[in-house]
Structure 1
Amino acid sequence: MPVLAKICGLSTPDTLDAAIRHGAAQVGFVFFAPSPRHLQFEQAAGLAARVPDHVEKLGVFVDPDDALVDAAVAAGRLDAVQLHKTPPARVAAIRARIRRPVWAAVAVKTAADLTAGAAFAGAADRILYDAKTPEGAALPGGMGLRFDWRLLQGHRHLLPWSLSGGLDPINVAEAIDVTGATSVDVSSGVESAPGLKDVDKIAAFLKAVTSL
């Protein structure tokens, strides 16, 4: 089974085009003001117009209200949404409202954290296992942190899942080998600075994934 890759936090036409050209299955647009990857709706609309039908457009949110989700879905022509720090009941409500697939992020540091994923069964369509950020951190992800991938070995997944957190062109093949992931998600690992994607790193990451 081929491994699918999402390039998240894209904000410029050249980096978006690079992700598409080199085989990204999904592209992520961030709608969270504290993030250096945050998009205005006008930006999202312009980028979305460049994405071909075979590539999914995901909007990334942190416990958003309905108005934000509705506006972002419309502007970014979103095919799905990714929710961080959002309780299962709220995830289910957003999913019912937008009638699109929903990814629910589960922050992982220890084996006990993995059990949180079970609560999203019936509420989300996919779990995104991401590294838990430090207490009080401004961002729930995109900080280049990784967790111990061995925690996922033998774990019983109740939903389809993706691996995120500290992935980059150098370690993604190992991460896939250790976890058995069939879907990976990268943001800071293909940047030259926070929020600034690098076309060469995007190409290298996607080559590492698609060559497996």
Structure 2
Amino acid sequence: MKGTAYRDFFNILETHNLYNPEHHNKSELTYKLNNNEIEFISVDMPQKIRGRKRNTLWLNEANEFSFEDWVQLSLRTTENIYLDFNPSDPYSWIYDNVINREDCTFIKSTYLDNPFLPEETIKEIERLRDLDSNYWKIYGLGDMAQPTETIFRQFEICNNVPEQAQLIAMGMDFGYSNDPTALVEVFKLNDNLYLNEVLYSKGLTNQDIAAELRKHS
């Protein structure tokens, strides 16, 4: 934290001749400005996260916080909450628990909306267009990332397998406790493959799996 928002905050104060060392409590990471007390909290400070209340909360790089952090902080904030983040984690709690709330306003911005961005940083971001499509999607376009572990990235989801498609195979991935056992039907129509999920479940024994396979033999 001290290398990001904390440092930037005091750099801005000093640039505008607003910094007063008498208002800066370095041990408590607080600063008093115009009758307001600003407190900086890091993700590795759980006692502060569950500490005192505040009027306004700003989560910088919000996807670095856990959902539990969010719950504790939001319960102790009486007025407005602001979050900023890069969409680099498609499974973040922000998408499921914040953005879809009725009282949430979502603003999407990109590097083009930042008038203070150095020219060299702009050039580095724009190089991503040709270097890495996923990074360009995140940092150039401000779109949600695609999971890096995704094997097949070019696909579409359809409601039904076309009737003309031919069943050519079945595919299975074994699992048990941590990972589910998965079974899919593979269909082909012209140059397109269609996968139909048949089974996706944890805790199945070999006998259970065999019984499921017999249903589709």
TM-score by length of 2: 0.30
Higher helix share: 1
Which structure has the larger Rg?
Answer: 2
Q: Which has the higher contact order (CA 8 A, sep 6+)?
A: 1
- Normalising by structure 1, we get a TM-score of 0.30
